[in-house]
Amino acid sequence: VDPGTIEAKRAAVLRGQVTNREGDPIPGVTITILNHPEYGQTLSRSDGMYDLAVNGGGVLTVRYEKGGYLKAQRQADIPWQDFIWLPDVTLVSFDPQATAIDLSAPGLQTARGTRQADADGTRQATLLVPPGTSAQMILPGGGILPLTGSLNIRATEYTVGPNGPKAMPAPL
């Protein structure tokens, strides 16, 4: 059987919804299956809903991506010949606050995200950058590019508000 073909006896349809922290639908989210390019992709509709046909018979990792948002993944055990309603996924937009970090600076530097508050209290994502820290970018195809000079760092808090658990990038 061609691995790019959905087999009638194994076919399953995944359905779910993607929202933001406020619970509003996010249209245009690209949904794919990790390590299974043969299943193609789908986009969430204006109501945040999506459908994707796959071959069932095991655990698949569903990926959610859209520009301006942090990526998310969820695993699901997909049976054959079934219609599977996946749990809602909340995508988190990047924190608007960015901190410039100079990699050549001699002292400790601090990058902080926006202060967040909810029923769990008030908090602020914080990253301490010690002197001598180096950075590199991994390029498509696996190449590595050393980074020098100044970087902008965003520290984004995932679990803010009642949709916090749905906003985690993947189950812990």
115-154 per-position pLDDT tens digit: 988 888 999 999 999 999 999 999 999 999 999 999 999 9
CA atoms within 13 A on the CB side of 111: 21
Report whether 20 contacts 90 (CB < 8 A): yes
For residue 51, give every residue at least 6 positions away whose Cβ sits within 8 Å of its Cβ, in sequence order, or none. 13, 14, 15, 42
3-state SS, residue 67: coil
| pLDDT at res. 146 | 93
Buried b (16+ CB within 10 A) or exposed e, 162-171: ebbebbbeee
pTM beyond 0.85, yes or no: no
When pLDDT is averaged across residues 98-108 and rounded to a whole number, the result is 95
H helices of 61-170, where? 164-167
CA pair distance 26, 41, nearest whole angstrom: 16
Report whether 107 contacts 83 (CB < 8 A): no
For residue 2, give every residue at least 6 positions away whose Cβ sits within 8 Å of its Cβ, in sequence order, or none. none
Buried b (16+ CB within 10 A) or exposed e, 3-15: eeebeeebebbbe
CA pair distance 146, 103, nearest whole angstrom: 11
User: pLDDT tens digits for 51-98?
Assistant: 999 999 999 999 999 999 999 999 999 999 999 999 999 999 999 999
Residue 42 burial (10 A CB sphere; 0-12, 13-18, 19+):
middle
Q: Which of 126, 120, 133 is nearest to 160 (CA)?
A: 120
